[in-house]
Structure 1
Amino acid sequence: MARWSTAKNSEKKEFNKSSTANKTAKEKMLRGSAWMTVGSIFSRILGAIYIIPWYGWFGADKLQANALYTKGYTVYSMFLMIAISGIPSAVAKQVSHYNAQNEYAVGRRLFKKSLLLMLIIGVLCAVAMWVSAPWISQGDANLVPVYRSLSIALIVIPVMSLTRGFFQGYQDMFPSAMSQLLEQIVRIIYMLAATFLIMRVVKGSYVTGVVHSTFAAFVGALGGLFILVLYFFRQKKQMDQLVLQSANQLEVSDRHIIKDVLYESVPFIIIGVSTTLYNLLDQFTFQPVMQGFSALNIRQINDWFALFAGNANKLIMITISLASAMAITAIPLLSEAYTKGNKKQIATQINDALELFLIVMLPCSLGMAAVAKPLYVIFYTYDHVGIFILSFASYIALPIGLFMVLSSLLQGVYQNKAAIKYFLIGFVVKLIVQVPLIIFLKGFGPLLATGIGMMVSNWLMLRFLYAHFGLAGDRIVRRFDGLLFFSLLMFAVAFGVVQVSGFFFNPYSRIQSLIVLVLAAGLGGYVYVYLCLKTRIADKILGVRVGSLRRLLRIK
């Protein structure tokens, strides 16, 4: 009897220990996601708000300017991904891996060696983009100075991104969030000041205005790097103490460290450029297909391109950034669990990450679709086609966001080949359907092709996770059904408010559209939050702390 009691107590302690570990991991994920979400959402909102004055200052050339800006950033994003080389995410993953083994000294050495590597790669990519600008401009001379103004940022941003990755390896998301926010603030201040001076004061060319708008990426990067350096020196004593307490059991050469980082970075490069490759395919196929199968001239084609690739994309990236923030948080936590061989914790964290994605992204995507009309008017002025494109793009944001989370989960558990394979299958599907969809649907075609390709990749990734890591399929389906039902009710309320408001408010007025947006989003959001709290589904996904919100809203 005594033996049985002792064994039972031992099992109970082990269960409590495991439960506490899972709870701690979940709290880390929620806390990390919260910081990254705050940084991402505010930087994305700022990145969308600046459009209101910036767009208006270009006058009759506003769509042409936005098309030029979008084309420049799409190619720049590809060079940036090559310059970053997936190394920041790989460093976050490897630093977390070594820290889990109490080998903080190895993680610090990895960071120092990677910094030099990133600086060299950044300079080489900057030179390559500057020199190749005339050849990749598709014959558009206006794009050459835009590409070259963006190339300068490639020297600074890789170093900044690597430093963010180092802090993320310690599961400290605050520096990354603040750096992201300050980078955006500095960039927008320079961008707006330069554009106003060029377009309104000296009455310059819209091309010059766009060139300075893109050069703002370099200025913003300096601001983002500054706060990271400041935070590093503030935390240096604590991190030095951890280094001194390292186990020092691993003998890892500098060559091995760099080799490991480069090996781990390859999947991050491929997955990191996935959405950029989708955008590049749109950029390099839309114009020739439209020229060959429609009677539209170049200016009209650029207007269409600006509507789906520029205007709509800037707004849906606000919601997609939420998924990106969750993905960044999940990688080091999964890497730690994988290093410790804790299969139960791996399965729990995968389930938690997917449920967190659903409770946030479902209402965000459907909500943006519901309020597309006032939202578009506020940022871009009234455009019937633009509103419909934004509404459609809002639905496509859901599979794009899910792809970011699922591919990151696979990389976090070292299933890099699977992540790459499923991305490539989805991309091939987009290639197949791209041209016919552009021919029949114009600006809606590339968006639908992206959605189809992403959904194929997502289905394959979900199937893989279910088969290999004990994904709780039944539980996730139940949560999905409930959250989708609540999101649809929210959509109905928000959309109903927008439609009814058409009888009382002027749809062409920005101020009145803002009032409609606040009413629709407020009522729809309240319905969703109320239902999630009332049914306790929020407690199951976000933890018991949401009980304070329930008490605040007086929901029993």
Structure 2
Amino acid sequence: MGRWSIKKNSKVDELDKSNIVVSKTAKEKMLQGSAWMTIGSIFSRILGAVYIIPWYGWFGADKLQANALYTKGYTVYSMFLMIAISGIPSAVAKQVAHYNAQNEYAVGRRLFKKSLLLMIIIGILCALLMWISAPFISQGDANLVPVYRSLAVALTVIPVMSLTRGFFQGYQDMFPSAMSQLLEQIVRIIYMLAATFFIMRVLKENYVMGVVHSTFAAFIGALGGLFILVAYYFRQKRQMDQLVLQSSNRLQVSDGHIIKEVLYESIPFIIIGVSTTLYNLIDQFTFQPVMQRFSVLNLRQINDWFALFAGNANKLIMITISLASAMAITVIPLLSEAYTKRDKEQIATQINDALELFLIVMLPCSLGMAAVAKPLYVIFYTYDHTGIFILSFASYIALPIGLFMVLSSLLQGVYQNKIAIKYFVIGLIVKMIVQIPLIIFLKGFGPLLATGIGMLVSNLLMLRFFYLHFGINAARIMRRFDGLLFFALLMFGVTLGVVQLSNLLFNPNSRIQSLIVLLLAAAIGGYVYIYLCLKTRIADKILGAKVAGLRRRLRIK
């Protein structure tokens, strides 16, 4: 792709000029990087949600039980995965960008190679730990043990894959990560669906075996994602070698210092990276005992409730949350570069740009999903009155979760790691305080609301810190927030109106007819939002002058 720029230097003249790219502005890099990561994340999440339609149906009467088992397995696996990855990929992206900004490409390359060996060792150790501890963390559910062990195998591959993604992100090249993410999901789903169909429909086996092979698909998908990264690395190796040759080589950094530096920088990424997983773990280990103690529901009914909010709703809202994740990943190397250059004005500008980009994308996505919750839920899971309301409620909670991801990444990008961890811990404590009473009174809605409250507290503290220490333009952000929220609410009203009117013409229990309603409502609501953003020129201010072309094509004056 030839995306990397080479800095002016006496050695540059010796290089192939065709590989030299004119440097983009920080905002252009952020928008382009966010675009690639958003494309990869969105398609990956959509694929990860679409597979549920046939997968869910093949389990028949055990579909909610299967989804509860699958969700519990992945929640614990996510914790082990975060430990295995150790925050090192994000730390490597940050440090590679830091050294590249100083024209020390050779140090960044050496950092990647040393970290690679470290990740292989950590991945194997974590895989063994999860395998051995499976019976002790299963909460007495024997069905969870083989699920945990099938996921443990993936820990041997995914850390290496994630580290390689981080290396490319350090160059602000998000294309390999996006494509790797997409291929990983495609390969995983192909295996998952093929195995589940064969086990449940051909062999007529127990649903537990179907879930075990569904979770083992994480290992198969990781092999696919790693393959494309390795191929891209060798494709770009000549250009990267040239960058190494023209390095300043002024820094003398020992291998021991490199490893120590990466581990130190990875600690906050570990803690922040497991933030949503810790929230989910609290839900998993409190919901069942609290419901057994304070309700008359049996274990199967409690698992059904758990599947509705932790499995069904969570899988769909992660589509919108993945947008925030994509923005967060993009902004860290850029902020690290500006921080290294001590460019305070650029730091403030990038923070403002990142927050405004979050608002213009996440507000309509979250409110839009809440508006189309009914047809969306029917398409993926068939009609369930409670499930629809939980999805609608969870869509609003996606906003504070997504904002937390962006804000915590911004703090890490400017080396305010302790602050990010401190505010996360405060939010987590708030979550734990309100969790049990909210479960008692609101059942499946309780854990979602507790998560929203905890994340909101963390977000307010982080925003206050940025305002006091980095001079962000709070007045400008609030003006744009007011405008975008107004447009998003108008879109929400129009979209919800289309859904309600469509119920008079279409059967709300039909998947095909619900798909028609969803497409119609999303198209009309989406056009209303885009029209308002383009008409008022707020899109130009946030996304740049290039959106003027879209305005011309839509004939908006």
Instruction: Indicate if the aligned counterparts of 1:84 and 1:158 stay in contact, CA closer than 8 A.
Output: yes
Once the two structures are superposed, residues 315-354 of structure 1 have per-residue CA deviations (whole angstroms, 9 ceiling, x without a partner) of 0000000000000000000000000000000000000000
Once the two structures are superposed, residues 241-296 of structure 1 have per-residue CA deviations (whole angstroms, 9 ceiling, x without a partner) of 00011100000000000000000000000000000000000000000000000000
Residue of structure 2 in register with 1:476 after alignment: 477
- Secondary structure of 2:135's counterpart equals coil
Paired with 1:302 and 1:271, the residues of 2 have a C-alpha distance of: 28
Instruction: Indicate if the aligned counterparts of 1:93 and 1:169 stay in contact, CA closer than 8 A.
Output: yes
Q: Tell me the percent identity.
A: 87
- Secondary structure of 2:140's counterpart equals coil
Residue of structure 1 in register with 2:452 after alignment: 451
Residue of structure 2 in register with 1:17 after alignment: none
1:137 aligns to 2:138 (yes or no): yes
TM-score with structure 2 setting the length: 0.96
Report 1:327-342 matches (<5 A): 327-342=328-343
Paired with 1:475 and 1:427, the residues of 2 have a C-alpha distance of: 30
Instruction: Indicate if the aligned counterparts of 1:327 and 1:404 stay in contact, CA closer than 8 A.
Output: yes
Residue of structure 2 in register with 1:554 after alignment: 555
Report 1:12-31 matches (<5 A): 24-31=25-32
Report 1:63-102 matches (<5 A): 63-102=64-103
Matched AA of 1:334: L
Matched AA of 2:279: Y
Matched AA of 1:279: N
1:375 aligns to 2:376 (yes or no): yes
Residue of structure 2 in register with 1:300 after alignment: 301
Residue of structure 2 in register with 1:164 after alignment: 165
- Secondary structure of 1:487's counterpart equals helix
Residue of structure 1 in register with 2:365 after alignment: 364
Matched AA of 1:179: S
Q: Residues 349, 23 of structure 1: CA spacing in aligned structure 2 closer, same or farther, 3 A cutoff? A: farther
Report 1:153-302 matches (<5 A): 153-302=154-303
Matched AA of 2:511: R
Paired with 1:332 and 1:170, the residues of 2 have a C-alpha distance of: 8
Instruction: Indicate if the aligned counterparts of 1:365 and 1:394 stay in contact, CA closer than 8 A.
Output: yes
Residue 302 of structure 1 and its aligned partner are, at CA, apart by 0.1
Paired with 1:497 and 1:298, the residues of 2 have a C-alpha distance of: 39
Instruction: Indicate if the aligned counterparts of 1:312 and 1:390 stay in contact, CA closer than 8 A.
Output: yes
- Secondary structure of 1:133's counterpart equals helix
Paired with 2:92 and 2:541, the residues of 1 have a C-alpha distance of: 32
Gaps of 5+ in 1: 1-20
Residue of structure 2 in register with 1:148 after alignment: 149
Matched AA of 1:507: P
Residue 171 of structure 1 and its aligned partner are, at CA, apart by 0.5
Matched AA of 1:277: L
- Secondary structure of 1:315's counterpart equals helix
Residue of structure 2 in register with 1:4 after alignment: none
Once the two structures are superposed, residues 370-417 of structure 1 have per-residue CA deviations (whole angstroms, 9 ceiling, x without a partner) of 000000000000000000000000000000000000000000000000
Matched AA of 2:415: Y
Paired with 2:191 and 2:119, the residues of 1 have a C-alpha distance of: 26
Residue of structure 1 in register with 2:107 after alignment: 106
Once the two structures are superposed, residues 493-517 of structure 1 have per-residue CA deviations (whole angstroms, 9 ceiling, x without a partner) of 0000111111111000000000000
Residue of structure 2 in register with 1:16 after alignment: none
Paired with 1:471 and 1:69, the residues of 2 have a C-alpha distance of: 43
Residue of structure 1 in register with 2:17 after alignment: none
1:386 aligns to 2:387 (yes or no): yes
Residue of structure 2 in register with 1:522 after alignment: 523
Matched AA of 1:185: I
Matched AA of 1:123: I
Once the two structures are superposed, residues 77-98 of structure 1 have per-residue CA deviations (whole angstroms, 9 ceiling, x without a partner) of 0000000000000000000000
Instruction: Indicate if the aligned counterparts of 1:22 and 1:348 stay in contact, CA closer than 8 A.
Output: no
Residue of structure 1 in register with 2:16 after alignment: none
Instruction: Indicate if the aligned counterparts of 1:538 and 1:546 stay in contact, CA closer than 8 A.
Output: yes
Report 1:381-530 matches (<5 A): 381-530=382-531
Paired with 1:430 and 1:108, the residues of 2 have a C-alpha distance of: 41
Paired with 2:67 and 2:226, the residues of 1 have a C-alpha distance of: 27
Paired with 1:359 and 1:81, the residues of 2 have a C-alpha distance of: 29
Residue of structure 2 in register with 1:58 after alignment: 59
Gaps of 5+ in 2: 1-21
Instruction: Indicate if the aligned counterparts of 1:22 and 1:345 stay in contact, CA closer than 8 A.
Output: no
Paired with 1:420 and 1:313, the residues of 2 have a C-alpha distance of: 24
Matched AA of 1:514: L
1:117 aligns to 2:118 (yes or no): yes
- Secondary structure of 2:507's counterpart equals coil
Paired with 1:424 and 1:23, the residues of 2 have a C-alpha distance of: 37
Residue of structure 2 in register with 1:32 after alignment: 33
Paired with 1:341 and 1:294, the residues of 2 have a C-alpha distance of: 57
- Secondary structure of 2:383's counterpart equals coil
- Secondary structure of 1:341's counterpart equals coil
Residue of structure 1 in register with 2:8 after alignment: none
Matched AA of 2:500: Q
Residue 192 of structure 1 and its aligned partner are, at CA, apart by 0.1
Matched AA of 2:419: A
Once the two structures are superposed, residues 162-196 of structure 1 have per-residue CA deviations (whole angstroms, 9 ceiling, x without a partner) of 00000000000000000000000000000000000
Paired with 2:105 and 2:504, the residues of 1 have a C-alpha distance of: 64
Residue of structure 2 in register with 1:346 after alignment: 347
Residue 63 of structure 1 and its aligned partner are, at CA, apart by 0.1
- Secondary structure of 1:264's counterpart equals helix
Residue 23 of structure 1 and its aligned partner are, at CA, apart by 7.2
Instruction: Indicate if the aligned counterparts of 1:324 and 1:404 stay in contact, CA closer than 8 A.
Output: yes
Matched AA of 1:492: G
Matched AA of 1:356: L
Paired with 1:109 and 1:269, the residues of 2 have a C-alpha distance of: 22
Matched AA of 2:110: R
Paired with 1:471 and 1:453, the residues of 2 have a C-alpha distance of: 24
TM-score with structure 1 setting the length: 0.96
